[in-house]
Structure 1
């Protein structure tokens, strides 16, 4: 009977999750096309983008602050202006953009996005606003060796995963294609001779070549990699699509996107080619300071709530009540059995379909929940390590079971598990970097911002490695100090 109840609890748990997931489709099916009216009513058009694709979208340093710039941003501003509203730009990982659109985190996505049959099944697309060609970025030392894609035989070529350039390179015979998610990583691989060339959108390739010494761009000679850039909207948002298409049509009459938006975006990019690495990185000190603040904020709040959740679910799992025990087991095993990155995205996008949760709040909630599952097992292990004689002695002195647990067992258990809790805190600080996928401005996010703005790949990585080490080493020393205090108190 107990096993049957336990299975029933697990079944209800997963049905609940599926129910949350199902709300997205129900909402979409029952909503009429009042998208444009709603946007005009709230006075703002929210644009989602991934600012790591200059000159279309990139993060620029203006008076020590992050600001998203680019040709696509100018396009979004023009669309919003024609709608009579203001534009709000929300940054997130490229892979999260369409999910954000489907869960109403953003109203439209402009990110050098290409319309595909698969994507068209879940979102609506505008007409093409720009047709881009494919360029090759090579080291200047290879300019006499590589003049087009014909010279890539028996060589390795890099391209962004999911791009049309990646698909085109994969089709070439005798060419090894290496896919990476971030353009800066591809440039680093090229400059360190890990690959012979990078296949990229022609305008993006030119932007990187203009701001990096030692590399240059050439025409690929490969027209199969050309692609149309489109704007994505929620499925069925025809009023928004029609409004955007009117703006696109007006811009195309004078070829404004190519003649005005792209050159203006390129002019806003910093020129760091002749500047030393130390000087260029010092300009971004405010970026790193902001990243440290958010990383510590996430970690401190998450560890507090993680310990609270850990104590609650550890006691529930040790409880003789089968319902409390089953709930605790479901929570602990499910959280420990799924990737934390997925949990962060689920809280932000999944629960966000019901309640509008800001990115920072969603990151803290997800990391707290994840930490709570691991802390629960640490605390449970600490409690079970205490001799049963301690509890029996407390009961014989007239203490209740709750008093015995509070005043006798838990204090001793925390002394035993202190090193493990310290390790969990260090791990949590490092895992906070996963929140960057939903646009939380912690250290990893700021590092990507500095890479995109400075066009220096290795230096920002080295800096945040040192920062993470200083933070975690300091935490470890503090935890070690209190561990010694506990041991000293025990010996006394």
Structure 2
């Protein structure tokens, strides 16, 4: 038995190595010649990814009932698209996924106040720097007498967005600093306001935006002395995209010559005033409604496919075929042994190298595959819970194995596992929130947008909690109703 397990383990490891190697090879730029600019023109679309939670660079507004991503960066890429005579297409996702999207061909450009550091230049190409606003620190206004300059941050808790220049600078340049990284700038601002951190490293324009819109906050200069080739904001493109980089730099040169960035910042400021006129949660009700629609859609579809896949895997587990049993065991163990977030990113970015799968469909596929593994184990437990006497009685009536499983075993198994299956459905609603990392506009994604737009950290989270509770409570009651009917059936 141990030898058999070892063989299967070896096969699994070899298969994983083959998949990773194949994906890595596909990720390599295999174009004989650079055709990045031609691809954009032939497609007649410039696809740009951004994380719209970083005002005034990019953020979302609710203007006259319509959602729109605006900001200085959006004006920059709009100018680039106009110069190329193509349509601008904006895709949203987490900041730490932007460069991955470029490397895997999900977009032509990534923009979002991205600093062209040496480390990042190893993975992607960058345009010329189009804006350099400088570095600052956000602090609580109540600490202005305690923290007057960067020297006062020695041995303090400093927050910065994970993977950013601000994070690296705080690590290197502030003695004894305890640097805490988070994926979202909105989470960092909340951490600052609740005194989980003493200061937040952030670009000066964003710091100014928060100070203007939140009276409890203040800012101090960073005092950093930095080389000009890695500070400021630049646009990221796939390695080898020389023609697209050159075309982009021509537009950036025009922007600098005409001093358009100041005009773009003024425009962003006007949009920010639209957001802060009314920061009540009722004003943003459409955001939450849109988020819950996507959350429910993903959960329902994934639950259906998860049950179908789970039944198939459970039946394969009871098969006499060693191959089918091996596939079922390997799949279940592998899926349960890896995080859902990694699976979502692999489906969207990894498989996306071969087939360009939209973000929503990628999220549904990943959540369905994940749910199937857990449902398979629940169903297997349910089948094992059916008394052996039922099998013997069915055999005495001359039922075939297929009819035995269909009419005797599975109905009783589902009756036994209904509470566990219901718990899996409820968990799925909450766990599906992970799809927000690839830009699916579920409830968590929309909550973060509202937090960024309104400069309110806690209230949007509270609203999201209430919505999740209402949905899961209603589903629990519905499942309990059907469980009661089963008991009396």
TM-score normalized with structure 1 length = 0.94
Cα deviation for residue 219 of structure 1 reads: 2.3
Residue 58 of structure 1 corresponds to: 59
Residue 247 of structure 2 corresponds to: 243
Deviation sequence 1:416-470 (CA, Å, 0-9, x none): 1000001100110001100000000100000011011111110000000000011
- CA distance 1:234–1:138, shift in 2 (3 Å): same
Moved more, 446-455 or 145-154: 145-154
- Given that 1:13 and 1:330 are in contact with CA atoms closer than 8 Å, whether structure 2 keeps it comes out as no
Residue 320 of structure 2 corresponds to: 320
Cα deviation for residue 151 of structure 1 reads: 2.2
- Given that 1:166 and 1:179 are in contact with CA atoms closer than 8 Å, whether structure 2 keeps it comes out as yes
Cα deviation for residue 481 of structure 1 reads: 1.3
Residue 168 of structure 2 corresponds to: 167
The 5 Å alignment of 1:41-440 reads 41-170=42-171, 171-224=173-226, 227-257=231-261, 259-270=262-273, 280-440=280-440
- Given that 2:157 and 2:180 are in contact with CA atoms closer than 8 Å, whether structure 1 keeps it comes out as yes
Counterparts of 1:443 and 1:308, CA distance in 2: 26
- Given that 2:102 and 2:110 are in contact with CA atoms closer than 8 Å, whether structure 1 keeps it comes out as yes
Cα deviation for residue 262 of structure 1 reads: 1.5
Deviation sequence 1:7-62 (CA, Å, 0-9, x none): 56425632552254134235x12452111111111110000111111111111112
Cα deviation for residue 333 of structure 1 reads: 0.7
Counterparts of 2:415 and 2:103, CA distance in 1: 47
- 2:218 match: secondary structure: strand
Cα deviation for residue 174 of structure 1 reads: 3.9
- CA distance 1:454–1:4, shift in 2 (3 Å): closer
Moved more, 189-198 or 442-451: 189-198
- Given that 1:77 and 1:87 are in contact with CA atoms closer than 8 Å, whether structure 2 keeps it comes out as yes
- CA distance 1:141–1:7, shift in 2 (3 Å): closer
- Given that 1:133 and 1:225 are in contact with CA atoms closer than 8 Å, whether structure 2 keeps it comes out as no
- Given that 2:433 and 2:442 are in contact with CA atoms closer than 8 Å, whether structure 1 keeps it comes out as yes
Cα deviation for residue 274 of structure 1 reads: 7.6
- CA distance 1:174–1:96, shift in 2 (3 Å): closer
Is there any run of 5+ residues in structure 1 with no aligned partner, and where?
none
Cα deviation for residue 64 of structure 1 reads: 2.8
How many residues align structurally? 484
Counterparts of 2:365 and 2:18, CA distance in 1: 19
Cα deviation for residue 261 of structure 1 reads: 1.3
The 5 Å alignment of 1:435-450 reads 435-450=435-450
- 2:132 match: secondary structure: strand
The alignment yields a C-alpha RMSD, in angstroms, of 1.9
- Given that 2:94 and 2:183 are in contact with CA atoms closer than 8 Å, whether structure 1 keeps it comes out as no
- 1:132 match: secondary structure: coil
- Given that 2:386 and 2:413 are in contact with CA atoms closer than 8 Å, whether structure 1 keeps it comes out as yes
- CA distance 1:274–1:365, shift in 2 (3 Å): closer
Deviation sequence 1:57-107 (CA, Å, 0-9, x none): 111112333211111111101111111111111101111111111221101
Deviation sequence 1:224-247 (CA, Å, 0-9, x none): 498221111111111100000111
Moved more, 34-43 or 403-412: 34-43
Deviation sequence 1:274-300 (CA, Å, 0-9, x none): 85x6xx111100000001111000000
Counterparts of 1:12 and 1:78, CA distance in 2: 48
Is there any run of 5+ residues in structure 2 with no aligned partner, and where?
none
Moved more, 160-169 or 219-228: 219-228
- 2:268 match: secondary structure: helix
- Given that 1:303 and 1:425 are in contact with CA atoms closer than 8 Å, whether structure 2 keeps it comes out as yes
Counterparts of 1:63 and 1:322, CA distance in 2: 61
Counterparts of 1:85 and 1:410, CA distance in 2: 56
Cα deviation for residue 270 of structure 1 reads: 3.4
Counterparts of 2:315 and 2:266, CA distance in 1: 62
